Chains A and B, each alone.
Chain A
Amino acid sequence: MTFRYLPMTDQDKKEMLETIGIETTEELFQDIPENVRFKGRLQIEEALSEPALIKEMSRLAAMNKNTKEYASFLGAGVYDHYTSSIVNHMLLRSEFYTAYTPYQPEISQGELQAIFEYQTMICELTGMDVANSSMYDGGTSLAEAGLLSAAQTRRKKIVVSKSVHPESREVLKTYAKGQHLEVIEVEVENGTTSLNGLRSVVNEETACVIVQYPNFFGQIEPLKEIEEIIHENKGMFVVSSNPLALGALTPPGKFGADIVVGDAQPFGIAQGFGGPHCGYFAVTNKLMRKVPGRLVGQTVDEDGKRGFVLTLQAREQHIRRDKATSNICSNQALNALAASIAMTALGKKGVKEVAHQNIQKAHYAKKVVEEKGLSVAFTGPFFNEFVIELKCPAKEVNQKLLECGIIGGYDLGLSYPELKNHMLLAVTEMRTKMEIDQLANVLEGLTCVQNISH
């Protein structure tokens, strides 16, 4: 079998071997000791032709219920949002996606400028001074914010609210273990961080307080009160934020956040079974030289022409090695580009409009499910997610919803035992009134009105 990605012909091979002065390619592998050389044939699946492979991958894809065919009310950190067609078209410009990290700025001005624009837009939304060029995702970005806080304050205790995404908290705990940091979780009261609980654990040993805004239950945390508690103790205030929500909500920077992190997935990035997404990381000027990951800066060339470069690299692993501020190397550059294009397409007006539609639709959904006799768990203000109490296990409810063309909400009992039979529903601008009404109807009687999948 010949392979379409391998251009070497027998003639090429012969000429190359002659130049090297050897008879066979095997001679090039003689330095691999005999007893570690692999002599068998790899026991992996046989190669498929292009059409056969498309068929097999289509078969696998078709086994998955997707949000193009089903109306999804599943959020919990990953959302179904409007994405302009141009995002994918521009991402497929292969000068972007087949490029490496822009270490050679003269031939990487496109990527560098796009990331510079991304950094600017993240700063605008979060109200922060500096944003880096991206992290793996919201969860690892949050964990790195914890590490930065500990390094900056030389303190060992990280306080995190239980209303922060459960999986992000798990990631934080794994990172903390490596650094011998203690993670202290604060209870939730009526859907937001318990302020008394927070006061009782925050002290002069606290490196930071981490909260999510809007939080995992969709609720808007009292950032003003939380900021006072942590800053009185001279720790860092870390806020994890859905950046789309910041089109409508006061940015964390206005509340005195030191570090704002989150995931830019709502901007033009596919849900993609959880990744790749795009962590963002934004800080105050004071922390500029402590930021993990790559930063793009503006400068001039020898002729005084504006250009962009990777900068402040003395923070990074390839220069500072074991003293680097983080080990991150590869980041999520292409997804930062996607987010940048999507933010540009939405623009000043669109980001506000979409954020407000999320608020309106989620509140309409809350109203109709309440009218159908379901109770909503928390009473505070919320963005595009809210919690309902179910009459039967969430898994059963979701099965029924699926039969009616709906991907239901997140079963909160999976990560909060006290919230058994509670479901987190997300309502984005993509959900129509008809879909929301259908959801409420099914939830009411658990009887299917009509299958609305297509």
Chain B
Amino acid sequence: MRTEHQSLIFELSKPGRVGYSIPDLDVPEVNVESIIPSDYLRTEDAELPEVSELQIVRHYTALSNRNHGVDSGFYPLGSCTMKYNPKINEDVARFPGFSHIHPLQDEETVQGALEMMYRLQTSLAEITGMDEVTLQPAAGAHGEWTGLMMIRAYHEANGDFNRTKVIVPDSAHGTNPASATVAGFESITVKSDERGLVDLEDLKRVVDQDVAALMLTNPNTLGLFEEHILEMAKIVHEAGGKLYYDGANANAILGFARPGDMGFDVVHLNLHKTFTGPHGGGGPGSGPVGVKADLIPFLPKPVLVKEDDVYKFEYNRPQSIGRVKPFYGNFGINVRAFTYIMTMGPDGLKQVSENAVLNANYMMRRLEPHFDLPFTQHCKHEFVLSGRRQKKLGVRTLDIAKRLLDFGYHPPTIYFPLSVEEAIMIEPTETESKETLDEFIEKMIQISKEAEVTPELVQEAPHTTVVKRLDEATAARKPILKFAKQV
């Protein structure tokens, strides 16, 4: 495996080489200058690389060897649910009947695609306890914004134009306040208590007639279930606000609890997390949104409906917030998620959450003697350690993360949630074996010992990766964002 140095594809380029094959033009050629004005005809070629097919294959193979995925090794990245991405999903999504259909074909010619979507949205509604689901949002953050826009439309339909605030806990994902801003709201932070849960008194303090919604992840980003969810729902609902469920952590509760039963009015799911659509190096995702009945009129259009065993899109939705995406969502990811749900069924999905939660608690208890554990109750699918003990020895959480790279692991999420000092957020998922967990735990214990005995070994890590720590400060100060040919 060649991992030492990888040229940029542009550096491999040589005039005259090609990596493609299309048929010769089979229609009579006309002089292009006679049909397109010369001002609009490109005079300088786009400097794309000139390389042969094998060169391309070697290039990307070499790049893949310089990358770590779930298939390469354990990936306990908290809040990201890096579970196994089933191969059957990839095969099914590539069936020509799914991959080679055009979104604007007549509906009669794509009934199979529509049936799949309908069955998926119906399943997701049941899993979340909501009344209807749209598959249109492309990712979690997109779903958040979609949900907030619907909440806004709901309030405005009630003649209520003064709800300018969205409440988010201090442990919330960054997308929550960012989505609130894009939807035109101001975000207000509610504090957590000493047990890591939303502080009910503080919630009462910030909730008033200006509140449009409370956004909540449950279990929250500390991996803890918000036990007072019904009281919270009551506080928000009595003030006329709505409850928004960020589904990033849904992997903890499948078949055990449903947001719809907890009082949530709007829910998004991350199909690329809980439902195995792969993460793809950062996307594409899929962020379906489920709503309770009173919000159905505001769903993005078109809405997929079934009438007399025929599936069709309904466009006449006068109260809809409009489109949030061209066409019907990230269909290819939705195919994968549906394939997964059909693989697991009701019992399998419940088993998923049970095992995910058991794995997390097992790891937490085994690591507890070696790292600070700010919140000691049982966790759900993930837990947060603090590296403050190691920090006193001069070893930062970042160093611990980098040391894990030497052992072939992707590190946990670090420095998040912001409310925990030197946070290390671990989410094992249900698809990892006990042996894998044990090996990782041993390495974590080893690192905690190294921090005491040979701290420089940790501070200078990683030692075995293709590059060492990179100079991020210079990258941001003097940005080089594309290749420039040396002249």
Nearest chain B residue, comparing its CB with the CB of A299: B475
Determine if B294 is an interface residue (Cβ-Cβ < 8 Å).
no
Q: A273-B328, A347-B50 are in contact. Are A326 and B182 (CB under 8 A)?
A: yes
> Hey, what's the 0/1 contact readout for A198-236 against B, CB within 8 Å counting as 1?
000000000000000000000010011000000000000
Asked, given contacts A312-B479, A318-B174, whether A381 binds B40 with beta carbons under 8 Å apart, the answer is: yes
| B387, CB-defined interface residue at 8 Å | no
**A406 CB, min distance to chain B CBs, angstroms:** 12
**How many chain B residues touch A (Cβ–Cβ < 8 Å)?**
205
Interface membership of B323, Cβ < 8 A: yes
- Is B342 a contact partner of A48 (Cβ separation < 8 A)? yes
Contact assessment for A321 and B174 in the assembled complex, using a CB-CB cutoff below 8 Å: yes
B64 touches A96 (CB 8 A): yes
A321 x B139 contact (CB < 8 A)? no
Cβ-neighbour of A248 out of B41, B100, B101, B471 (below 8 A): B41
Cα distance, A384 to B300, chains bound together (Å): 31
For the complex, is B378 an interface residue (Cβ under 8 Å from A)?
A: yes
A-B contact pairs, 17 of them (CB 8 A): A5-B343, A8-B359, A12-B434, A30-B378, A38-B257, A64-B111, A90-B64, A95-B64, A96-B281, A97-B279, A98-B70, A111-B282, A116-B481, A134-B283, A301-B469, A318-B175, A432-B26
Complex CA gap A395/B146 in Å reads: 32
Interface check B200, CB cutoff 8 A: no
With a CB–CB cut-off of 8 A, which chain A residues contact B116? 57, 60
Cβ contacts A33-69/B at 8 Å (1 or 0 each): 1011110011111111010011011111111111111
Q: Are B284 and A330 in contact (CB under 8 A)?
A: yes
Any A CB within 8 A of the CB of B480: yes
A165 to B480 Cα, complex, angstroms = 33
User: Within the complex, what minimum Cβ distance (angstroms) separates A43 from chain B?
Assistant: 5
- Quote the shortest CB–CB distance from A118 to chain B (angstroms): 10
B269 contacts chain A at the CB level, 8 A cutoff? no
Q: Is B283 a contact of A330 with CB atoms below 8 Å?
A: yes
Most B Cβ at <10 Å: residue of A29, A54, A116, A273: A273
CB distance from B141 to the nearest CB of A (A): 5
Is A413 at the interface (CB under 8 A from chain B)?
no
Judge if A378 is at the interface, Cβ distance under 8 Å. no
Complex Cα distance, B85 from A41, in Å, reads 25
A332–B95 CA distance with the chains assembled, in angstroms:
21
- Judge if B177 is at the interface, Cβ distance under 8 Å: yes
Chain A residues closer than 8 Å to B32, beta-carbon distance: 248, 356, 359-360
Contact check, A220 vs B36: say whether CB atoms are below 8 A apart: yes
Measured CB to CB, the closest approach of chain B to A102, in angstroms, equals 7
A253 CB to nearest chain B CB (Å): 11
Smallest CB-CB separation from B94: which chain A residue?
A: A88
Contacts A78-B104, A363-B30; A66 near B430 (Cβ below 8 A): no
Are A97 and B85 in touch, CB under 8 angstroms?
yes
Chain A: CB-nearest residue to B60: A90
User: Would A31 and B49 be within 8 Å (CB), given that A104-B401, A110-B65, A275-B331 are in contact?
Assistant: no
Q: Which residues of A contact B480 (CB under 8 A)?
A: 297-299
Residues of A near B327 (CB, < 8 A) are 78, 167, 273-275
A1-38 to B contact mask, C-beta < 8 Å, 1/0 = 10101111000110111011100010111111101111
- Known A74-B105, A102-B281, A175-B182: A42·B127 in contact at CB below 8 Å: yes
Q: Report which of A302, A351, A364 forms a contact with B46, defined as CB distance below 8 A.
A: A351
Which residues of A from 363 to 389 have beta carbons under 8 Å from B?
363-364, 381
Of residues 306 through 343 on chain A, the ones whose CB sits less than 8 Å from some CB of chain B are: 307-309, 311-314, 316-324, 326-335, 337, 341, 343
Q: Contact partner of A136 among B43, B91, B138, B323, CB < 8 A?
A: B138
B145 engages A327 (CB within 8 Å)? yes
A6-B431, A13-B358, A48-B342 known, 18 other contacts, Cβ within 8 Å: A31-B227, A32-B253, A47-B348, A54-B91, A57-B335, A59-B112, A68-B100, A90-B57, A90-B60, A106-B462, A110-B63, A140-B138, A271-B100, A275-B327, A299-B472, A334-B281, A346-B48, A348-B48
Q: Is A120 an interface residue (CB 8 A)?
A: yes
Q: How far is the CB of B171 from chain A (nearest CB, A)?
A: 12
Residues from chain A with a CB closer than 8 A to the CB of B352 are 6
User: Is residue B37 contacting chain A, with contact meaning CB distance below 8 A?
Assistant: yes
Q: Which of A124-132, A155-163, A444-452 contacts B (4 or more CB under 8 A)?
A: A124-132
